Structure 1
Amino acid sequence: MSLYRDEGVVLRTQKLGEADRIITILTRRTGKVRGVAKGVRRTKSRFGARLEPFSHVDLQLHTGRSLDVVTQVETLHPYGEAIVGDYPRYTAGSAMLETADRLTVGEKEPALRQFLLLVGGLRTLAEGEHEARLVLDAFFLRSLAVAGYAPALSECARCGAEAVRAFAIVAGGVVCGACRPPGAAVPAAETVALMIALLRGDWPAADASESRHRTECSGLVAAYLQWHLEHGIRSLRHVERAWSEPLAAAPEWPGASEKSHNPHTTRA
């Protein structure tokens, strides 16, 4: 077996046998890795507590046939300590981990931009300077951009016109009156401005937004993300409870089952 070292964020864990765990980690250089951490469920484990979700760690692994084996772990940033004690931040963080896991489909395929985005998102969430849902929506939008599916927000996703009137998930973002498909949402101009601020990292503008626009933004972003993933994000159910505001589900618009090619959709 070959030995390698990398740093990563623990995305999820699952039990294996009586004392082991399978750890899924998004790493800086290797991409998504699934490894076995042997004996970590025993009370005398050397590094069991270091391999919990949200942890940013430096680790050493042996390459195995199906699963690698974790042999050493050092904590770089224990983001979980600040996140798990606050329910809104915990639910937002869980949704971030699940999204990063879903967007990095292949194992051991380098995903540096997604890794850096996740580390930055968890750090911002742990610091608590911005509302958790703003951090989550910013992460969603930027993750979509990294994957090549950032929504068009400044001009019509279909024809490029600047006079936009609605937001259509199946079209790839904002659309003008002529291109607006049936069932498209009509968000407030302030909501679209908030989405632009979150995508660009303009935190002063995002922090100054009103609650009703944040709620509308969260619904649109969650629906847009889940439509592109083709499956729901399970963690969002808990996010809804934490914020006491139901997030919009992806609507069943005509053609929603077939993703149309859209040359005007912003791509990373």
Structure 2
Amino acid sequence: MSGSSSFAARTYRDDAVVLRTHKLGEADRIITLLTREHGQVRAVAKGVRRTSSKFGGRLEPFMVADLQLISGRTLDIISQAVSKGSYGQQIAAHYDRYTVATAMAETAERLTDSDQESAGAQYRLLIGAFSALARGEHAAELILDSYLLRALSTAGWAPSFTDCARCGNPGPHSAFSAALGGAVCHDCRPPGSPSPAAQTMVLLAALLTGDWPVADASDPANRREAAGLVASYVQWHLERVVRSFRLVERL
């Protein structure tokens, strides 16, 4: 009886999105999950690589599922999975969406690796981004850059694209510093800081706030410049390279 109550105490349910998978042994996989209530979780899906697996395609990257898990010493175990959001197939059918989703998932994994406090908000943000990406609501690269800016903001690194990020001097300003937090005035500008076009800064502000009419109408040149600034901002704060960025196609 005590064994069964101990087992029940170790069992929990949560909604989760699959960030990454890799093989374990001959038939299993380790699944990296971002959950609604328990933050980032690494769990084993036993027998998932067999054609007869009860999990089917519910534990593939970018899929959302209601899971039952059993807490383990190093890895949890997935015992049940019910599909809630089948974004994977729609995303994987388009190369640009797939590479963007991979970059999002890698960023989410980095951000929630040690930060459990914002994990619930990061979960909701990522689900919204995957949903928009699967439906093709906007250009894939714009959804990516909007997601990245919001994810960094949720983690506590909200950028400024109008007032000076260092001294608060009202903008707009013509220089950008990832290290200082975005737009910087002439007095605060570090040597060698880039000077983006004014419309690029407008686009960045639109992506951060979700002003999609402005973002959708933006020029490809401004999108490319904004993407470079977003990437530098993300990698500065994560203190590591997001490897998936190099796969993302830009116009």
2:188 paired with 1:179: yes
Partners in 1 of 2:118 and 2:194 — Cα distance?
36
Whether the aligned pair in 1 keeps the contact of 2:112 and 2:118 (CA below 8 Å) is no
Partner of 2:137: 129
TM-score by length of structure 1 reads 0.88
Stretch moving more, 129-138 or 99-108: 99-108
Whether the aligned pair in 2 keeps the contact of 1:30 and 1:110 (CA below 8 Å) is no
The size of the alignment, in residue pairs, is 242
Partner of 1:42: 50
Partner of 1:96: 104
2:81 paired with 1:85: no
Whether the aligned pair in 1 keeps the contact of 2:118 and 2:154 (CA below 8 Å) is no
Partners in 2 of 1:160 and 1:178 — Cα distance?
11
Partners in 2 of 1:107 and 1:38 — Cα distance?
28
Partners in 2 of 1:47 and 1:228 — Cα distance?
36
Q: Which runs of 5+ in 1 are unaligned?
A: 245-268
Partner of 2:168: 160
Partners in 2 of 1:218 and 1:65 — Cα distance?
41
Partners in 2 of 1:231 and 1:221 — Cα distance?
14
Structure 1 residues 110 and 62 mapped into 2: Cα distance closer, same or farther (>3 Å)?
Answer: farther
Counterpart of 2:221 in 1: which secondary structure?
helix
2:242 partner amino acid: I
Q: How far 1:106 sits from its partner (Å)?
A: 2.8
Stretch moving more, 64-73 or 158-167: 158-167
Percent identity among equivalent residues? 55
Counterpart of 2:233 in 1: which secondary structure?
helix
2:246 paired with 1:243: no
Stretch moving more, 106-115 or 200-209: 106-115
Whether the aligned pair in 2 keeps the contact of 1:12 and 1:24 (CA below 8 Å) is yes
Q: How far 1:185 sits from its partner (Å)?
A: 0.6
Counterpart of 1:81 in 2: which secondary structure?
helix
Q: Which runs of 5+ in 2 are unaligned?
A: 1-6
Q: How far 1:136 sits from its partner (Å)?
A: 0.1
Partner of 2:25: 17
Partners in 2 of 1:98 and 1:168 — Cα distance?
24
Partners in 2 of 1:109 and 1:170 — Cα distance?
23
Partners in 2 of 1:37 and 1:108 — Cα distance?
23
1:135 partner amino acid: I
Partner of 1:209: 218
2:181 partner amino acid: G
| Alignment counterpart, residue 151 of structure 2, candidates 143, 148, 153 | 143
Q: How far 1:158 sits from its partner (Å)?
A: 1.5
TM-score by length of structure 2 reads 0.93
Where do 4+ consecutive residues of structure 1 move more than 2 Å? 106-110
2:125 paired with 1:117: yes
Give the CA RMSD over aligned residues. Answer: 1.3
